[in-house]
A = this chain, B = another copy of it.
């Protein structure tokens, strides 16, 4: 028996939620590597990212199949378009986690004498933002998606704090320059994880309302 479009869309949503769960796990593991100063966690991130990459290809193929076999229109078509875009964002979020893990490993190889306190605080906020974006997709809830857009300011302000404090410290502790630069680069990667969460929330809003709110700012 042919599967209905509703059943196929449900499968697609479930795969996307599974991929989102793996990205959350990748981020969680990355942060654990930093907070526990445990390089083993960074190796685990690479394994999780491979699962994320496999899911990306699987979801793209599943989207192609539904598009070809069902010729969806209106709301169904918008959902598939959103999933294609969310899929791309989730894959790049996996990349960002790998980037952070890579930098984290380099820092730990160099020193044990650096505070990750601000990075951990920023990571906590970014984790909330990623979770909120994925929750808005799971529940297909516009209000939740709009809340994600508002969280970006906090991430940006934590990023600015890390940038300015690290730069100031570079001047008085030249021996720490590499490590402080790495904190800045980790903050930049965390900021991008926040940006991807924003993209996901915007795609959820588009899927549900048909309204494209990109390039209008968070208040739109």
Output the residue of A50, A53, A181 with the most chain B CB within 10 A. Answer: A181
A212–B87 CA distance with the chains assembled, in angstroms: 15
Which B residues lie within 8 Å of A74 (CB)? 68
Task: Render A10-25 as a binary contact track against B, CB cut-off 8 A, 1 for contact.
Answer: 0000000000000000
Q: Across the interface, which residues of B come within 8 angstroms of A60, CB to CB? A: 81, 212
Cross-chain contact B171 with A177 (CB below 8 angstroms) = yes
How would residues 48 to 83 of chain A score, 1 for a CB under 8 Å from any chain B CB and 0 otherwise?
A: 001001001100110110011001111001100100
| B181-A57 in contact (CB<8A) | no
Question: How many subunits of this chain does the assembly comprise?
Answer: 2
Question: How many residues of A sit at the interface, in one of the four size bands?
Answer: 20 to 34
* B181 & A53 in contact (Cβ 8 Å cutoff): no
User: How far in angstroms is the closest Cβ of chain B from A16?
Assistant: 16
Mask of A166-197 contacts with B, CB within 8 angstroms, 1/0: 01001100100110010011001000000000
Q: Determine if B84 and A81 form an interchain contact, defined as CB atoms under 8 angstroms apart.
A: yes
Is A85 positioned at the interface, with any CB of B under 8 Å from its CB? Answer: yes
Q: A61 to B212, alpha carbons, bound, how many Å?
A: 10
Q: 4 closest A-B pairs (Cβ-Cβ)? A: A71-B71, A53-B215, A68-B73, A171-B174
- 16 A-B pairs in the complex with CB atoms less than 8 angstroms apart: A53-B214, A56-B214, A56-B215, A63-B81, A64-B78, A67-B77, A67-B81, A68-B77, A81-B84, A84-B84, A167-B177, A167-B181, A170-B170, A170-B174, A181-B181, A185-B188
